[in-house]
Amino acid sequence: QVQLVESGGGSVQAGGSLKLSCRASGFTYITYCMGWFRQAPGKEREGLAVTDSDGITGYSDDVKGRFTISQDDAKNTITLQMDNLKPSDTAMYYCAAESGYCWRPRADDFRIWGQGTQITVTS
């Protein structure tokens, strides 16, 4: 059974940076996709960035150039470096995983989800 555990959430002032990590356990997929999503109160879950077992990455237009997804295969971990954070980035952030390749962060493509970690950006 695949489990995902996020870490690195917290509070930061606008313009600051945070780095999220997601560690996967029980992972047996040869090809896989992992990604980051977020959900603010009263809003739908929003895709941010994905990376797959071929190292392909994809970003939403809203975070392209500010957020960077990367993976550490040895540690079964993906990270999301978030720079120039804005108050509108405040949300619960989730890690997700699925078998197969991917190129876009679309929530409907993922079946396995972490519990989430809160990010609050203050002005």
**Segment 96-107, tens digit of pLDDT:** 999 999 889 999
> In Å, how far from its chain's centre is CA 71?
11
Mean pLDDT for all residues in the chain:
94
For the chain, what percent of residues have pLDDT higher than 90? 85
Instruction: List the one residue out of 114, 70, 76 whose CA is nearest residue 95.
Output: 114
Given a cut of 90, whether residue 117 has pLDDT beyond it is: yes
pLDDT reported for residue 82 = 98
Angle at 40 between CA 39 and CA 45, to 5 degrees: 25
Taking the C-alpha atoms of residue 81 and residue 69, their distance in angstroms, rounded to an integer, is 6
pLDDT digits (tens, 9 = 90+) for 43-89: 999 999 999 999 999 999 999 999 999 998 777 899 999 999 999 99
